């Protein structure tokens, strides 16, 4: 099944005033999430950089993070989106207004070489839809493309820990259980296995009010030239380094939150014992 239009040679035009307006449209969520950021001075003031961070539920917190970076640095961030985001015209137009582009390697390198900030979730859908017991544990073991892009563009990687973004909803039916249902099998056949969603519970469709906090780590400058992008051993070692650095930022934030007595600390929300929907029985 064809999910999106063929990639175009030229990127969609970026309109910074439209980007700022789009973020303003969702500013009403601020009192709900009370987002904060520390270490924003680690974001390069002018140079391009690849921002990597953990994936929260559906990426709903992304607008808050982009707003905080824009306010702290004056710089927009070009987020990389999954192909399904660009499948429908409405969502594609909204994503482009938010500065997002489809996550292709050539596009990423081009933006970085143009000294833009680019954000990627290396864990992708797998991390976004993981079970509660894996919350705040990075699942980047099979992700190498972001390292190769940074090497080819010769730009630093900026790790960011997101806290609270994995507590927006409570999972009541796991992804594996949904896969076994007729609906799950149909979605897997049409879109792919990774797009089978668990069943979540919030305040209806609205996420729970959750304090969002972000910790920006120091830029990681890769000590290799662009040719290293073709050396798997180097790429794998750098991926381990970046993953470890980002995980330590997350663990630090969770521990600080636990000591302060806010959030759930290292303990993640547990799924309530709810009866599964009829279509799963």
Instruction: Name the nearest CA neighbour of 208 among 63, 60, 69.
Output: 60
Q: Which residues pair with 202 in a beta bridge?
A: 204
Q: Answer yes or no: do 143 and 103 share one domain.
A: yes
Domain of residue 190 covers 172-206
Backbone angles phi, psi at 119, to 5 degrees: -115, 135
For Cα atoms 164, 167, 170, give the angle at the middle one, nearest 5 degrees: 180
| Position 21 in a domain | yes
Number of H helices and E strands in the chain, helices first, is 10, 9
Q: Answer yes or no: do 163 and 60 share one domain.
A: yes
Residue 262 — pLDDT band, cuts 50, 70, 90?
Answer: low
| Position 6 in a domain | no
Q: Answer yes or no: do 202 and 213 share one domain.
A: no
Q: Answer yes or no: do 224 and 108 share one domain.
A: yes
pLDDT at 1: 27
Q: Answer yes or no: do 151 and 181 share one domain.
A: no
Q: What is the mean pLDDT of residues 232-238?
A: 98
CATH (domain of 31): 3.40.1130
* Measured distance CA(68)–CA(84) in Å, rounded: 26
Q: Answer yes or no: do 176 and 238 share one domain.
A: no
Least confidently predicted of 113-117, 157-161, 175-179: 175-179
Q: Answer yes or no: do 72 and 192 share one domain.
A: no
Q: Answer yes or no: do 48 and 132 share one domain.
A: yes
For Cα atoms 12, 14, 16, give the angle at the middle one, nearest 5 degrees: 160
* Measured distance CA(137)–CA(123) in Å, rounded: 10
| Position 118 in a domain | yes
pLDDT at 7 > cutoff 70 = no
| Position 11 in a domain | no
Q: Answer yes or no: do 124 and 258 share one domain.
A: yes
Q: Answer yes or no: do 61 and 182 share one domain.
A: no
Quick: pLDDT tens for 121-152: 999 888 888 888 889 999 999 999 999 999 99
| Position 236 in a domain | yes
Mean pLDDT estimate for the chain = 86
Q: Answer yes or no: do 149 and 181 share one domain.
A: no
| Position 278 in a domain | no
**Three-state secondary-structure class, residue 239:** helix
Strands 170-173 and 199-201 turn out to be antiparallel
What are the residues whose beta carbons fall under 8 Å from the beta carbon of 231, sequence distance 6 or more? none
pLDDT at 223: 95
Count structural domains, the chain: 2
**Three-state secondary-structure class, residue 90:** helix
| Position 221 in a domain | yes
Please state the pTM of the whole predicted model: 0.86
**Three-state secondary-structure class, residue 134:** helix
| Position 62 in a domain | yes
Give the other-Cβ count within 10 Å of 271's Cβ.
17
Q: Answer yes or no: do 122 and 177 share one domain.
A: no
Say if CB 201 and CB 269 are below 8 A apart.
no
Burial environment of residue 247 by CB neighbours within 10 A (0 to 12, 13 to 18, 19 or more): middle
Q: Half-sphere exposure (CA, 13 Å, Cβ side) for 41?
A: 0
């Amino acid at each position: 099944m064809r999910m999106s239009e063929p990639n175009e040679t030229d990127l969609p035009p970026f309109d910074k005033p439209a980007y700022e307006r789009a973020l303003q449209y969702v500013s009403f969520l601020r009192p709900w999430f009370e987002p904060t950021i520390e270490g924003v001075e680690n974001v390069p003031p002018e140079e391009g950089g690849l921002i990597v961070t953990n994936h929260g539920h559906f990426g709903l917190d992304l607008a808050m993070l982009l707003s905080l970076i824009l306010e702290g640095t004056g710089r927009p961030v070009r987020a990389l989106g999954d192909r399904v985001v660009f499948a429908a015209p409405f969502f594609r137009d909204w994503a482009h207004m938010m500065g997002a582009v489809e996550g292709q390697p050539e596009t990423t390198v081009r933006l970085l070489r143009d000294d833009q900030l680019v954000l990627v979730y290396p864990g992708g859908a797998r991390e976004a839809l993981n079970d509660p017991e894996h919350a705040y544990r990075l699942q980047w073991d099979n992700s190498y493309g972001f390292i190769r892009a940074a090497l080819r563009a010769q730009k630093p990687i900026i790790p960011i820990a997101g806290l609270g973004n994995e507590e927006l909803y409570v999972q009541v039916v796991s992804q594996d259980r949904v896969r076994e249902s007729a609906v799950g099998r149909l979605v897997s056949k049409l879109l792919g296995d990774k797009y089978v969603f668990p069943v979540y519970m919030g305040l209806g469709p609205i996420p729970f009010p959750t304090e969002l906090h972000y910790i920006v780590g120091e830029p990681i400058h890769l000590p290799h030239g662009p040719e290293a992008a073709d050396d798997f051993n180097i790429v794998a070692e750098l991926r381990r380094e970046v993953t470890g650095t980002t995980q330590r930022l997350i663990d630090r934030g969770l521990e600080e939150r636990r000591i302060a007595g806010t959030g759930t600390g290292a303990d993640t929300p547990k799924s309530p014992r709810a009866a599964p929907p009829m279509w799963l029985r």
